[in-house]
Amino acid sequence: MPYSNGSDSARLIKRLNPDRELPYCQTLFRSVYCLHRIIASDYILRRRFMAVRIITDRTCDIPPELEKELNIINIPVYLVFGKTSFRDGVDITTDQFYQKLLHEPVYPTTSQPTPKDFADVFNNLSQEADGILAIHISKKLSGTINSAEQAVKMVTTKGPIEIIDSLSVSLGVGLQVIAAARMAKQGKKLAEISAAVKSMVPNTKVFILFDTLEYLAKGGRIGKAKSLMGAILNVKPTLYSP
């Protein structure tokens, strides 16, 4: 019989046995509430794992705290002093690098991440992500993109992986990566993020002012004669990319 008014409700309460029915209802409510929390947590966890993941390299110069906040994966490049190599940001800090630069007799060189470095990251992320977008230093300046492209062929899991040439360096790469990571955090799809980054590439320019030509000569970017002439004339060139 339906209970439609106050009197009916009162009669229903009298018919209940509080010592038996009330504890049962409380237990049932707690069970339903816990189940709801589990389902909600599982959904949030799945969405976090299924999001597009953004990968870059250490040349992007993004502050570590921002990388952590935006869940950016940063693959280190190698810094080589003589016969000893260091993974940038892993085996050696920025401050330690500059100290070595001042005091080591050997001028350092750099080397891009290996295909295996990329493949290990791709394989791990492919198991938990909707897709992977890798944005790296210009192919004209480094072999990093070549390593990433080789790594795609080594990946055993089947998830979409896209690689974008930033045509830039330093924060020119970083700005594109940050924009992509923010879109990924908002739940945007891989195709949408990729299209947005590609539209940024031709509009991203980095200007570099050199106080001295010494390190360009040591790195083999210019000859010793040009370096000497620049020093005599006090030339301080400005370069831009792309």
* CB contact at 8 A, 90 and 76: yes
Q: What does the pLDDT read at residue 26?
A: 54
Helix (H), strand (E) at residue 75: strand 73-75
The whole-angstrom separation of Cα 176 and Cα 39 is: 35
Residue 32 in this model has a pLDDT that exceeds 90: no
Q: What does the pLDDT read at residue 237?
A: 79
Q: Which of 86, 92, 90, 91 is nearest to 109 (CA)?
A: 86
Residue 10 in this model has a pLDDT that exceeds 80: no
- pTM here is 0.73
Structure tokens at 189: 């799809």
pLDDT category, 194, cuts 50, 70, 90?
very high
Phi first, then psi: give them for residue 28, nearest 5 degrees.
-65, -40
Residue 61 in this model has a pLDDT that exceeds 70: yes
Average pLDDT over residues 159-180: 94
Q: Highest mean pLDDT range out of 32-36, 116-120, 122-126?
A: 116-120
Helix (H, G, I), strand (E, B) or coil at 142: coil
Residue 40 in this model has a pLDDT that exceeds 80: no
pLDDT category, 108, cuts 50, 70, 90?
confident
Phi first, then psi: give them for residue 70, nearest 5 degrees.
-95, 5
pLDDT category, 180, cuts 50, 70, 90?
very high
Average pLDDT over residues 73-102: 89
Helix (H, G, I), strand (E, B) or coil at 130: coil
pLDDT category, 12, cuts 50, 70, 90?
very low
pLDDT category, 27, cuts 50, 70, 90?
low
Residue 190 in this model has a pLDDT that exceeds 80: yes
Render pLDDT for 208-226 as a digit per residue (tens, 0 to 9): 887 888 777 776 777 888 8
